[in-house]
Chain A
Amino acid sequence: KQEVTQIPAALSVPEGENLVLNCSFTDSAIYNLQWFRQDPGKGLTSLLLIQSSQREQTSGRLNASLDKSSGRSTLYIAASQPGDSATYLCAVRLSYNTDKLIFGTGTRLQVFP
C-alpha cells in the first residue's frame, strides 16, 4: 500500500532563506507527483506537477525534483517571503488507469519578516 510522508511537519524560517520541503513515498511505481499549497481555511492550489519520466519542474521561485527510484521528491523555495507561509502538500498518482491521489500529511511553513 502506497504511503506518503512529509518531513518536517512544521517549519519556521526568517524571510530570505532558501528552504527545502521533503516528500517520501513507499512505492516507486507512481505515475506523477503533484505539489499543492493550502492557505488556512482555503482549498488547495496546485503548484507543480512532475510526470514520472521527469526529474524536475520549475515555476518562478519554486523548483520540484523527483527521484522515483529512491521514493523522494523535494520542493525547493528560493528567497522565501512571508507570503509563502502556508501548508504544503505533496500527492502521488499511482498509475495511468487511475486519477486518484494519495496525499501526504503536509508541512506547515511560516516565514517571518
Chain B
Amino acid sequence: NAGVTQTPKFRILKIGQSMTLQCTQDMNHNYMYWYRQDPGMGLKLIYYSVGAGITDKGEVPNGYNVSRSTTEDFPLRLELAAPSQTSVYFCASSYPGTGGAKSYNEQFFGPGTRLTVL
C-alpha cells in the first residue's frame, strides 16, 4: 500500500491564482480530511468527508472547496489564492472500523504540500 499520497509537494502561487491540491489513499478508508499547518502551530481542519459524495466544513473552510466523487480521492481547491493561505497542507484518512485500540479511528497522514502565495 502506498498509503496517503499528495501532489504536488511544493507550489508557489501568485495572488488570485487558483489550484487544486490532490490527495489519494489506497486503504479503502471512508473518512478523509484536509488540514493546514502554519509555522509553529498545530494542525487545523479545513474540510472533511465521511464517504463519497459527502463533505463538511472544519474549523477554517473559508477560501477552499472540496469534492469527493470516489472513495480514493479528496482534492482541495483554492479559487483565489491569498497570502494568508501560505501554509503546509496535509491530507489524512481513517477507517471507522472496530479494530483494536491502536487502529480504531487512527488517522494516517500524507507527506504534505508546501504552498506559498506571493
Does A48 sit within 8 A of B, measured CB to CB?
Answer: yes
Can you name the residue of chain B whose Cβ is closest to the Cβ of A31?
A: B105
> Which parts of B28-80 form the interface with A (CB within 8 Å)?
31, 33, 35, 40-45, 48, 50, 58
Interface residues on B, range: 20 to 34
Does B26 sit within 8 A of A, measured CB to CB?
Answer: no
CB pair B107 A43 closer than 8 Å = no
Q: How many residues of A contact B (CB 8 A)?
A: 27
Can you show 16 pairs from A to B with CB atoms below 8 A apart?
Answer: A43-B4, A43-B90, A44-B43, A46-B106, A46-B108, A49-B101, A49-B104, A49-B106, A51-B101, A99-B31, A99-B96, A100-B33, A101-B107, A103-B44, A104-B42, A106-B42
Give the CA-CA distance A105 to B39 in the complex, in Å: 10
CB < 8 Å A-B pair total: 66
Give the CA-CA distance A93 to B31 in the complex, in Å: 14
Residues of A whose CB lies within 8 Å of any CB of B are: 4, 9, 32, 34, 36, 41-46, 48-51, 54, 57, 89, 91, 93, 99-101, 103-106
Known A-B contacts A43-B90, A43-B110, A44-B90; A49 and B102 likewise in contact (beta carbons under 8 Å):
yes
Q: Which of A46, A91, A104: most chain B Cβ within 10 A?
A: A46
> Which parts of B98-118 form the interface with A (CB within 8 Å)?
101-102, 104-112, 114
CB pair B102 A99 closer than 8 Å = no
Query: A24 CB to closest chain B CB, in angstroms?
Result: 13
Known A-B contacts A54-B101, A57-B102, A99-B94; A46 and B107 likewise in contact (beta carbons under 8 Å):
yes
Known A-B contacts A42-B112, A43-B112, A44-B90; A103 and B43 likewise in contact (beta carbons under 8 Å):
yes
Give the CA-CA distance A104 to B42 in the complex, in Å: 5
Give the CA-CA distance A100 to B44 in the complex, in Å: 10
Known A-B contacts A44-B90, A54-B101; A105 and B42 likewise in contact (beta carbons under 8 Å):
yes
Chain B residues within an 8 Å CB radius of A51:
101, 104
CB pair B104 A105 closer than 8 Å = no
Query: A50 CB to closest chain B CB, in angstroms?
Result: 8
